[in-house]
């Protein structure tokens, strides 16, 4: 099976449609795509709705930035991060949420350790979420 994925261009946010993004610059559209994905990830993380129930949850925005860069055929995230201020203004114009943490994906991973209410909850979690063939401490 061959999958042909074409990076999206967000025409509703271009100058032609009254937005702020350049009409055909793929780096600007990559920046918008990265910002929306990063915001979604951070919103889920902050609300405690991570995709997996992991005792140590972390978000690596730098990995996301590199993935978006590859998807759009750019050499590195710096090419699209040059548009981050413009994307921020467009998000504000559209009354979309914005988190300053997405502006610098090279920050250390954003982490939060799962807080257990008591030792029994910790033991239950550890007993049910082990890698196969691991010895119990």
Please state the domain extents for the chain: 11-128
Q: Which residue has the tokens 């610098």?
A: 104
Find the mean pLDDT for residues 81-100: 92
> Hey, how many other C-beta atoms are within 10 angstroms of the C-beta on 118?
8
Whole-model pTM: value is 0.70
pLDDT in tens, 54-66: 545 566 788 889 9
Degrees to nearest 5, angle at CA 14 with 25 and 67: 50
Question: Rounded distance, CA 87 to CA 84, Å?
Answer: 5
Q: Residue 107 in 3-state DSSP?
A: coil
Q: Residue 73 in 3-state DSSP?
A: coil
Question: Rounded distance, CA 115 to CA 33, Å?
Answer: 32
More reliable by pLDDT, 14 or 122: 14
């Amino acid at each position: 099976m061959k999958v042909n994925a074409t990076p999206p261009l967000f025409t509703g946010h271009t100058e032609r449609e009254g937005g702020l993004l350049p009409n055909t610059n793929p780096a600007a559209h990559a920046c918008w795509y990265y910002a929306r994905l990063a915001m979604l990830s951070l919103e889920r993380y902050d609300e405690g709705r991570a995709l997996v129930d992991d005792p140590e949850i972390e978000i690596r925005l730098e990995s996301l930035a590199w993935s978006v860069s590859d998807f759009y055929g750019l050499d590195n995230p710096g090419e699209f991060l040059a548009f981050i201020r413009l994307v921020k203004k467009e998000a504000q114009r559209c009354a979309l949420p914005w988190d300053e943490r997405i502006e610098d994906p090279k920050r250390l991973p954003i982490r939060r350790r799962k807080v257990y209410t008591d030792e029994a909850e910790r033991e239950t979690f550890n007993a049910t979420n082990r890698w196969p063939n691991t010895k119990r401490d």
